[in-house]
Structure 1
């Protein structure tokens, strides 16, 4: 691991990439992060210049490029860490290779916490099976397939066919809708009793508003991905360590400007990408 000289710093800036909301022009992070940020840490929202949602593997590649651009710009601006505020961890390996900051993804960090507190975990996600490719990629890349008992989907594909249904779901999450929370709790209980899970990972950071409520209603550890991932970033900064350069070799410095040039060449491009399934309204409190 590479030292950061953490003890010499009084305040650490953590860039939050991915708000789960439409662009606001603000640097205010989601409420769940504001509520748990410790003294000495300054989380700030960073909005991507290229906006799209990874509904397909192709779109996922565009999202990774957009998030990598955010990380490169964050390092130039003096941030100490970036937190990828999505279970998909888009661009995480590229960020670790290209930057010297602490880089944490919500998905990777939460899976690691699950296996530190149990033997097998299940992912319980509000979204339907057609989006499971996001979690499956993370399980494969993180080597967690054998530790994951199941992916439990709270909704079916027919329930989320477009933006309107997705917006209704996220509005229900924000309002802590009792019916939706009950469905999440039922999915958790089924993962434990039927799939053999002893630990639960909530499979989308948009579930942050209901995370504490559902955790209080079950008898196994429940890790909400936004809070867990953010706190992991704080922990690494406190310890003064980051990812290994042996695992993530540095690229040719001459190539680092290519990402920004590609993204900036099109200005602030919106490819229909105000996230169709992860919208947390900015007035969440």
Structure 2
């Protein structure tokens, strides 16, 4: 099985994060699974940190094309599934309408996993402007009633990158924010961004007292594995009814993509990801 991982970061510019993803993904993916890591194009952000370029609605929406193009490329290149490895699930709904391989979002997989582990979901993140989007997404996924507090940590992206070498301050900051969410009624916690999730998983943080901390990367990869297996073994895959799910004609897709200046039909030879082989079970 081959899974396309798509980050919202330019992944090669954040080597601490990239290397931690490699170790984590190799541990959680099955031995028959290859996960190929992909980041945003090098020119997307002026520095290694996305920052304001993902925390405003219009700016973030402009990134959808890279995720849609990735999905089209993945299917043409023979991938079995795609994992959108960012909690806002950028381009998730659009990508699903265009390809028949499963497309799984970090946010949706996390919310559904959390809903099976607890009754009131708390999110601990460091990008405060995303809170509105996370609530809107939870409503779309049918879980708005279970989403409780969203609490920000005192540390940010750069701190977490440095924390791979000095973890204790980051762990303490996360625990402090998680305890605030728990005090406000949360009984399951989702780490709000990929870097925080991978950092916590790297350092074995899976509970705060009696409260589970969802490993969102693991939830996403395992959901990809399960959906691929489900179709292979039972023939079950997503609905194609309705505005948000129906698959448009290929000719119409390619015509409008060309008109708007996008590559009409991406070339699978443009796949330049970093392969990670699973060693899990």
Q: TM-score range by the shorter chain?
A: 0.7 to 0.9
- Check if 1:13 corresponds to 2:2: yes
Alignment partners' CA distance in 2, 1:132 and 1:180: 21
After superposition, the C-alpha distances for 1:64-93 in whole angstroms (9 at most, x for unaligned) are 121111111111111110000111111111
Distance 1:169 1:137, change over 3 A: farther
| 2:165 alignment partner, one of 164, 167, 175 | 175
8 Å contact from structure 1 (residues 69, 259) kept in 2: no
Correspondence for 1:133: 132
Q: Please, what TM-score do these two structures have when normalized by structure 1?
A: 0.76
8 Å contact from structure 2 (residues 206, 213) kept in 1: yes
| 1:37 alignment partner, one of 29, 34, 40 | 29
Q: What are the ranges of 5 or more consecutive residues in structure 2 without an aligned counterpart? A: 46-52, 265-281
Structure 1 position 115, deviation (Å) = 0.7
How large is the Cα RMSD of the aligned pairs?
A: 2.6
8 Å contact from structure 2 (residues 9, 40) kept in 1: no
Alignment partners' CA distance in 1, 2:142 and 2:227: 21
Corresponding residue pairs, total: 242
Q: Please, what TM-score do these two structures have when normalized by structure 2?
A: 0.77
After superposition, the C-alpha distances for 1:40-70 in whole angstroms (9 at most, x for unaligned) are 2111123444735422111121111211111
Structure 1 position 180, deviation (Å) = 1.6
- Check if 1:196 corresponds to 2:170: no
Alignment partners' CA distance in 1, 2:9 and 2:213: 21
Which region of structure 1 is more displaced relative to structure 2, 198-207 or 46-55?
Answer: 46-55
SS at match of 1:101: coil
Structure 1 position 17, deviation (Å) = 0.9
After superposition, the C-alpha distances for 1:209-229 in whole angstroms (9 at most, x for unaligned) are 223533244321110222221
Correspondence for 2:44: 51
Alignment partners' CA distance in 2, 1:75 and 1:68: 11
